[in-house]
Each structure stands twice: as structure tokens, then as C-alpha cells.
Amino acid sequence: MRAVVWSLPDLDGPGIEEPSLAGPAQDAAGTGWLDGLRWALSDVRVLAWRTLARIATTPEQLLNVTLLPLVFVLLFSYVFNGAIVFPGHGSYRDYLIAGIFAVNMGGTAQGAAIGMAVDLSTGLIDRFRSLPMSRAAVIVGRTVADLLTTLLGAAVTVLAGLAVGWRVHASPASLLLALVFALMFGYSAAWAGACVGILARGPESAQAVGLTVIVPLSLTSNAFISTASLPSALQLVANWNPVSVLAAACRRLLGNPDPAAAIHAWPMQHPELASALWSLALLAVMAPLTVRLYIHRTGR
């Protein structure tokens, strides 16, 4: 076995010590798949930590996942609360929080897109190419770190929601299941964002493409309003929107008002299953595509 110790103080900013990254020897006998998996997981851990450690020098990176959810909760709870017609009975604030939670999970894609584009444009990936590491570790580490960062935004949403009167009317098991569905969607969205980051010509392009996708998905969903009053064509899109599906699943699991349950569309009648299928399908398509694009662009 041979170990490679690497440090990137010039690229990641002053004061950041990179953990050691080691890889298995590439001899004629090779290594077993268990050893390969162990080294790949070690690579992922190191690279995910590298991404999270950079926040110490640039804490403004967290503004997008902390300030934006807070603004959404306060804005819709106090400014738009009386202007939005909420069908049926129940609290609009109880309805709202699950929608913002779903939007936050979808926003993981933009963070992954920008981060991947930055790494590619600064030459950091060229340093990785010289290391005996898993090809997918760079992307997996990036997506894991972005998902963990998004969880911070979810925590802000929950705390702000509790402060404005949102309450959970479900068992701890249902609460945990809602979190599982949210993490599945957030992680699959991160892979989609990483794919965009590899295809983009720079961080600005990645940000523009991410906003072009995320904003329409959020606004054509049931995150903030019920889709029952939308035109039939737009309602069809909204009912199959993955953000709508996740929001409906979370509302049902958390015991919050869910007007979508009265809509006779398969995703709205089975939001938990539909959300899981959306996440698995997105991950099954985006993960191999992103790795292939990464190999093609970096020449590995």
C-alpha cells in the first residue's frame, strides 16, 4: 500500500489543513472489491470535509441556505398570508412550511452546480487527477457536502416555522420518514446540479442555469399555493412536479393540511411513493451521466 498526502492551501484559502488522502497500490494482483470500496469511501469523506472546511474562511456561502429560508417563512407567513386563498380548513402556516422545506431540498442542485463549476475553473480538479483516488469521489464528496449544508437550511426553516406557529401533528416515526424522503430528493437534486456544473463554462453560467430550473419548479408547484385553482394544463404540470410531490408527502406525514389529497392525480394520491420514485429515477439517470461527463472533461 502507498499513501499520498496532499494539501491545497493555495486553492482553498489560508488556514485550511487538508486531511490525508491515501489510495491502494495498483499492482498486478489488484485489490478486492472491499478494499476498493473502503478507499472510495475514504476519498469521499476527505473531499466532503474539504468542501465543508472552506466555509470557515468564506462563511457567506451559508447565506443562501440560512437567510433565504428565513425570508421565505417570514414573507409568506406575514406578508402574503392574507392574500393567498387557502382551500378547506387549517392553518396556512402549517401548510407553508413543508413547501419551503421541499424548495430548500431542490435548491441543493444550485449549490452543487456552482461548487463543481468553481472547482473545475480554478484548476483544483487537475490536482485531483494526479492522486490515486476514485473517479466518482470528487462528485460524491461534493454532493454529500452540499446535502449537509442544505440540512442547515432545513433546520432554519423548522425553527422559523415553529416561531411563527407551525406545528407537527404526527409521530416521531412519520417525522423521520418525512426527513428520509427529503434527503433522498435533496441528494438526487445535488447530482443533477453537479451535472450542470460540469457542463457549464463557469460558476456564473452554472448559477444562471440553476436558477432557470429551480425558480420555475418552485413557482409551478404547491409549495406556496394550492394547485387546485390553476388552469388544467398548468395543474397537470404542478401535480407531477417533484417539488409538489415532496411537499405533499411531507404534509401528509407531518399531519399538516394537504389540499392536494383531494386532487385525482396519481402523484397527489400517493405522494410518498411518487417522491421516492422521483428521487430514485433522478439519481439513476444523473449519477452515471455525471460521472461520465466528469471523466470526459477531465480526461480521467
pLDDT tens-digit profile of 137-154? Answer: 888 888 888 888 888 888
CA dist 5 to 96, 141, 219, Å?
Answer: 48, 18, 47
Question: Cell triple for residue 196?
Answer: 450542470
For residue 203, what pLDDT is reported?
A: 85
Evaluate if residue 120 carries a pLDDT over 80: yes
For the chain, the first-to-last Cα distance in angstroms comes to 22
Range of the domain at 113: 60-298
Count how many domains the chain has.
1
Q: Average the pLDDT over 15-35 and give the result.
A: 50
| Residue 226 counted as domain residue | yes
| Residues 232-276 pLDDT 10s | 888 899 999 999 999 999 999 999 988 888 888 999 999 999 999
| Residues 41-90 pLDDT 10s | 787 888 788 778 777 777 777 777 788 889 989 988 888 776 676 666 67
| Residue 5 counted as domain residue | no
| Residue 142 counted as domain residue | yes
Q: Average the pLDDT over 1-27 and give the result.
A: 44
Evaluate if residue 293 carries a pLDDT over 60: yes
| Residue 48 counted as domain residue | no
Evaluate if residue 8 carries a pLDDT over 70: no
Of the candidates 108, 259, 251, 254, which has an alpha carbon nearest to the alpha carbon of residue 116?
108
Evaluate if residue 33 carries a pLDDT over 90: no
Got the DSSP string for 4-41?
E----HHHH-TT-PPPPEEE----SS---HHHHHHHHH
Q: Identify the residue with better confidence: 273 or 129.
A: 273
Q: Which amino acid is at 223?
A: A
Evaluate if residue 185 carries a pLDDT over 90: yes
Which range has the worst mean pLDDT, 7-16, 120-129, 144-153, 288-297? 7-16
pLDDT band of 11, cuts 50, 70, 90: very low
Task: Write down the mean pLDDT value for the chain.
Answer: 81
Of the candidates 139, 148, 124, which has an alpha carbon nearest to the alpha carbon of residue 40?
139
| Residue 85 counted as domain residue | yes
Evaluate if residue 3 carries a pLDDT over 50: no
| Residue 155 counted as domain residue | yes
Check residue 77 and report its DSSP letter. I
The Cα 39–Cα 45 span in angstroms is 10
Evaluate if residue 1 carries a pLDDT over 70: no
Are the CB atoms for 156 and 247 separated by under 8 Å?
no
For residue 183, what pLDDT is reported?
A: 92
Of the candidates 198, 28, 44, which has an alpha carbon nearest to the alpha carbon of residue 134?
44
| Residue 292 counted as domain residue | yes
| Residue 245 counted as domain residue | yes
For residue 31, what pLDDT is reported?
A: 53
